[in-house]
Amino acid sequence: MRVTEIRMKVNGSVESLDVEPWVSLLDALRERLGLTGPKKGCDQGACGACTVLADGVRINACLALAIQYDGREITTIEGVTHPLQEAFVRHDGLQCGYCTPGQICSAIGMLAEHEAGMPSAVTGSQGLDEAEIRERMSGNLCRCGAYNGIVDAIKEASR
Amino acid sequence: MRPFAYVKPADVAEAVRAATEPGARFLGGGTNLVDLMREGIERPDTVVDVTGLPFDTVTELPDGGLRIGALVRNSVLAADGRVRTRYPMVSQALLSGASAQLRNMATVGGNLLQRTRCPYFYDHASACNKREPGAGCDALDGFNRSAGILGVSEHCVATHPSDLCVALAALDATVEVHGVDGTRRVPMAGFHRLPGDTPDVETTLAPGELVTAVELPPVPAAANSRYRKVRDRASYAFALVSVAAALEVRDGAVTGVRLALGGVAPKPWRATRAEDLLLGGPADETAFRRAAEAELADAVTREGNAFKPRLAVATITATLRELSTGGTAR
Ligand SMILES: Cc1cc2nc3c(=O)[nH]c(=O)nc-3n(C[C@H](O)[C@H](O)[C@H](O)COP(=O)(O)OP(=O)(O)OC[C@H]3O[C@@H](n4cnc5c(N)ncnc54)[C@H](O)[C@@H]3O)c2cc1C
Ligand code: SF4
Ligand code: FES
Ligand code: FES
């Protein structure tokens, strides 16, 4: 049997969809559910444009097989309402906006990780300072180089 | 991606049985396997998803060590309080690898079996003995900045990319594996193989053998330990050279030391020669440098990676100096 029916709660609503085992979570979200917020940058886990939240934890949807996420809860940028969105606009945290959905989902996951006391490679600095934000967000690349605005937006939203 | 069948076994026996069939591969977090499948380098007929198996906890061992289930996520292990206090270099090694998103997906078992990042291994247009036995090796006279300098052969100069494994080697961790014939315990030093003339054979695992746990023995010196990684950018890159070091000093003398290197060899490189020279001797800069130089004495370099022995000596020396002066994690 090539196709399996999986169920995921996506942005609050239960979706059932038929997927072949080789369909990535990213393709399932974009192609089958029409959620084009999560972007396909590299399709190799290297850029973070595809970042979504699975049960509140940030992951790269491009390296995830959809079938592995049967029964899970997925949040994409379409399901997000968060002060980060306004903050990104206010601080010029975007230029073309291609990386922005991934940046915002990643930042939401990151703030939860930090809140839960999860360490990073620069842990030791107090609170969520710039070095800490940059390290924790290093899985999200921005081709436009909007990093300074992104860091400022996250700094503001985390207060 | 090439089509494949997907199975999610209910227990270890079923997993091992499914994976023993030719063309089957275990799937953990998928962060390496799915990538390699998309590139057409791994071409499994069946993918055996083991993430439903109950190996996702870290537990205490009676001797004071820790047992880490093979399905514990890298981010969860890095955050474990016992790991952070008793084996800081394990936590630091994990946190220096990949990105937060990838660490949230990656499992301990999959990390041990991740494959090299040699650029020619990924490039179908190049000759690579690891991807296609007998094809040759384009890295020998090509772009070999990332290539290894210890334990390499004329057939392959690729490095093992894992950071976690370097810390595990320094600690003499044990890998528990399940196969058709039952359970085996493999010391970290005997888990990965040197390339010789069969660089495609990377570990001592038999087909279908599943990693179920990694055990850390009690190592008092490891409470004062550090993982230091040098790379081309500050974060989110593989190591050019990395050092996992633990040091115990009493009255100016080294009473306990563990040292392993990453980014320099086809397997996590346990620096036993340096350890032997250091143990019982003075804990000073001269001794650290001499031991590091001895460890790198057999280094074989190529055009692009000729800087590595000096970088390795400097990184080892700096890491030991930091540990000897009570400096711990940044
Ligand atoms: C962009 C990028 C950057 C990265 N940077 C780093 C880095 O700096 N440092 C670093 O160390 N790593 C890095 N990684 C690699 C990452 O850490 C590994 O991909 C990950 O640890 C593999 O774990 P996994 O569970 O996802 O394995 P999978 O991809 O699921 O599996 C990997 C291999 O292990 C086998 N396998 C999985 N589980 C088991 C098991 N229990 N028993 C036996 N075999 C098993 C699979 O069959 C497969 O061959 C990076 C990866 C990416 C994509
Ligand atoms: S170094 Fe090894 S992995 Fe790289 S091209 Fe040569 S054989 Fe292949
Ligand atoms: S598209 Fe997933 S990380 Fe680049
Ligand atoms: S805003 Fe263009 S890629 Fe980030």
pLDDT digits (tens, 9 = 90+) for B31-59: 999 999 999 999 999 999 999 999 999 99
**Confidence at residue A127, expressed as pLDDT on a 0 to 100 scale:** 84
CA of B113 to the centre of ligand 1 (A): 6
- pLDDT, tens only, A41-74: 999 999 999 999 999 999 999 999 999 999 999 9
What pLDDT is attached to residue A2? Answer: 83
Nearest to B35 by CA among A84, A26, A158: A26
Contacts of B131 (CB under 8 A, 6+ apart): B41, B121, B124, B200
Nearest to A87 by CA among A21, A151, A16, A5: A151
DSSP assignment letter at B137:
B
Per the CB < 8 A criterion, the answer to whether B267 and B293 are in contact is no
Say what the pLDDT of residue A125 is. 65
Q: How confident is the model over B201-224, as a mean pLDDT?
A: 97
The answer to whether the CB of B104 falls within 8 A of the CB of A59 is yes
In this structure, what DSSP letter does residue A30 have?
A: I
Q: What is the pLDDT at residue A159?
A: 85
Q: What is B1-53's CATH number, 1.10.1040.50, 3.40.50.20, 3.10.580.10, 3.30.43.10? A: 3.30.43.10
pLDDT, tens only, B296-322: 999 999 999 999 999 999 999 999 999
Burial class (CB in 10 A: 0-12, 13-18, 19+), B141: exposed
Do the chains contact at A22 and B30, CB–CB below 8 Å?
Answer: no
Q: What superfamily in CATH does domain B225-326 come from?
A: CO dehydrogenase flavoprotein, C-terminal domain (3.30.390.50)
pLDDT band at B326 (very low <50, low <70, confident <90, very high): confident
> Does residue A96 register a pLDDT over 60?
yes
The mean pLDDT of B140-144, rounded to a whole number, is: 97
pTM: 0.98
Q: Tell me the average pLDDT across B130-138.
A: 98
Contact state of B31 with A48 under an 8 Å Cβ cutoff: no
Measure the N-to-C terminal CA separation of chain B; round to a whole number of Å. Answer: 42
Residue bearing tokens 């990093």: A147
The predicted structure's pLDDT at residue B328: 44
Q: How far is A96 from chain B (nearest CA, A)?
A: 23
Residues of chain B with pLDDT > 90, as a percent, come to: 98
The band of B330, judged by pLDDT with boundaries at 50, 70 and 90, is: very low
Interface test with B, best of A31, A40, A68, A70 (most B CBs within 10 A): A68
The closest CB to that of A120, out of B4, B47, B95, belongs to B95
3-class DSSP state of A100: helix
Locate the domains of chain B by residue range: 1-53, 225-326
How far apart (Å, rounded) are the C-alpha atoms in residues B258 and B260?
7
- The strand pair at A4-10 and A73-75 is best described as parallel
The shortest C-alpha distance from A38 to chain B (Å) reads 14
Q: Average the pLDDT over B119-146 and give the result.
A: 98
Element (H, E) at B273: helix B272-278
Instruction: Output the average pLDDT for chain B.
Output: 97
Q: CA angle, A19 as apex, A17 and A25 as ends, to 5°?
A: 90
Query: Nearest CB to A65: which of B5, B34, B96?
Result: B34
Whether B3 shows a pLDDT value over 60: the answer reads: yes
B213 bridge partner residues: B69, B176
Helices A147-158 and A100-115 sit at what angle, rounded to 10 degrees? 40
